[in-house]
Structure formats: C-alpha cells, structure tokens
Amino acid sequence: MTEADPQYPSTTDFEIQRTPYPDVQKLVTLFFIILLNTVIVAIPAGIILAIFPKMPFVYKSLFNIVLYVAPMLLSINYALRKSKKQQGYSISINFNKIQGWLVPVVIIGALALIIPLEWLSDLIPMPNSVKKVFEEAFTKDVFSIATVSIAAPILEEILCRGIILNGLLKNYPPFKAILISAIFFGAIHLNPWQALPAFIGGMYLGWLYYKTQSVIPGMIIHFTINFTASMMLFLPGPEQELRAFMGMHNYILAILASVVVFAGICIIIYKKACAIADPLFNVEYQED
C-alpha cells in the first residue's frame, strides 16, 4: 500500500468525515430546510382547508397539530441523517438523568422568566393584523395547548439542544456555541415578537444543557413557560396581558422581582449543578 492508494482515505479525509455536525454553515442550510419542510406541509394543508372550509372544530385542531409536528419531525430526521453522514455515527440525544433538586429549581426559574420575556416581546409593537393571525392560529382548546406545551418543548429541545447545540459545543467554545444555538432558536420562530424572547430563553436553555448535559431540564423549562403563557390567554379582559391585568406599577415591580429571582436561580445552578453522565464535550473544538 502506498500513501496515494485511493482505496485508503487520507488522514485529512478522515478528519473531514468526522467533523461534528453542525457548524454554522450547516446550520444555515438546516434553517432553510425547516422553511422548506414547513412549506411542503402547508401547501397540501391549505388545499384541504380550502376544500373543507367548515371542517369540524376537533378535526381542525388535530390538523393544526400535524401542521406543526410534521415539519419538525422532517427537520429532525434530516439533521440526524446529515450528522450520521458527516460524522460516521448517529447522534444520541442526551436524556441523561438529572439531580432531583434541579426540577423545582428550574421550574421556579422558568416562572421567573415569563414576565421579563413578555416585556421583551412587547418592546416591538405588533400590528393588529398580525395580532389577529396569532389569535386565529391559537384556539383555546386542549389540542392547541398540547401542541404548544408538549409537542413544542419535546421537539424543539431535541432539535435545538439535543442535536444542534450538542454538535456546536464540539466545534466552538461554549459561549460561542450557546450563542449560535440561541440565534438559531430565535430565528426558527420566524417573527420578531417570539424571536427576541426565544433568543434570550435560548441562551439560558443552552447554558443549562451545557451544565447538565441533558435535554430534560430544557423540556421542563420549555413546558413551564409555554403552558403558563397558554393559560394567560384565559385572563379576563380584552388584551389578556399581564401588564393590563396587573397595572403598570405592579407590572414593573413584578419584572424587577422576577429578574432578582431568576438571577438567584442561575447562581444556585452554577454552583450546584453537575452532570451525571461522563463528559460529552471533551472533544477539542475545531479552530476556524
């Protein structure tokens, strides 16, 4: 065998093949794949709704679940296939067991985040036409709540932390990897009113994944925030916002109190949280 024998890959080829998935370039491609999958699912869905405009309420609600779940599953499947092709092995989503004390702590932290995240969302004025679209997209029924509170936390955490951040942490320093994953998490929400809070929340979720090496805390936080936000839609009054319900003075005090509580939760996690499993991120990240 000679060094140039084409039957045997060179060291460079082997290193390229084993580069962890994804890097920033692959992430941009994945973003457009998500858009494509959404369009692929939405076109036949729109045709069906046009043919059956008076579809029974229950069927329409189930239909809306499919409209969200199908593109996400297609995108997760794409990311898993690409990662296996690039790395030479399948990604294992880290459902590692977490310490028991962490569950109530992350729930309290998630509840503390809700009011500041709502305030961030309100910084960008929402046109009435867009507000109407949001109201029509989320009907106050068990299926919509299940989509937002169960399907979204599971699927988005698997994709954004379990696959994407897991790979980014092997390609970049931790802060850069978490920042990139948070930007992606905000971008896939496809509108500024959700993207800004999602970015901030994504930084916290990414940091927590890095600390615990598990998608479970993120799913708990994601569920807590989304479920509570869903319940807020049942508040009395036309605006159904905490600011209108509490009054501006109390709302400002609530924001300040929430920030203090959240900071305390972060300090507790920083000092006490440790991974149960062996280190996942001991691969040296690749320098550009």
Q: State the pLDDT confidence band at 288, using cuts at 50, 70 and 90.
A: very low
Q: Is 248 exposed, middle or buried (0-12, 13-18, 19+ CB in 10 A)?
A: exposed
- For 221-250, the pLDDT digits (tens) are 999 999 998 887 776 655 556 776 677 888
Q: Give mean pLDDT, residues 96-105.
A: 90
pLDDT of residue 219: 97
- Which of the listed ranges 4-8, 120-124, 135-139, 214-218 does the model predict with the highest average pLDDT? 214-218
DSSP string, the chain: --TT-TTS--HHHHHHHTPPS--HHHHHHHHHHHHHHHHHHHHHHHHHHHH-TT--HHHHHHHHHHHHHHHHHHHHHHHHHHHHHHHSS----------TTHHHHHHHHHHHHHHHHHHHHHTSPPPHHHHHHHHHHS-SSHHHHHIIIIIHHHHHHIIIIIIIIHHHHHHS-HHHHHHHHHHHHHHTT-SHHHHHHHHHHHHHHHHHHHHH--SHHHHHHHHHHHHHHHHHTTSSSSS--HHHHH-HHHHHHHHHHHHHHHHHHHHHHHHH---SSSPS--SPPPP-
pLDDT of residue 2: 46
pLDDT of residue 8: 44
pLDDT of residue 238: 53
Q: Which residues contact 4 (CB under 8 A, 6 or more apart)?
A: none
pLDDT of residue 3: 47
Higher pLDDT among residues 108 and 61, named by residue? 108
**Mean pLDDT taken over the chain:** 83
186 touches 199 (CB < 8 A):
yes
- For 6-55, the pLDDT digits (tens) are 444 444 444 445 789 999 999 999 999 999 999 999 888 778 877 877 77
* Residue 127, pLDDT above cutoff 80: no
The rounded percent of the chain whose pLDDT value lies above 90 is 50
Sequence spans of domains, the chain: 11-272
pLDDT of residue 268: 93
Q: State the pLDDT confidence band at 69, using cuts at 50, 70 and 90.
A: very high
Higher pLDDT among residues 146 and 241, named by residue? 146
Q: Give mean pLDDT, residues 272-282.
A: 54
pLDDT of residue 224: 96
Q: State the pLDDT confidence band at 277, using cuts at 50, 70 and 90.
A: very low
Give the least confident one: 20-24, 91-95, 131-135, 247-251: 131-135
- For 253-269, the pLDDT digits (tens) are 999 999 999 999 999 99
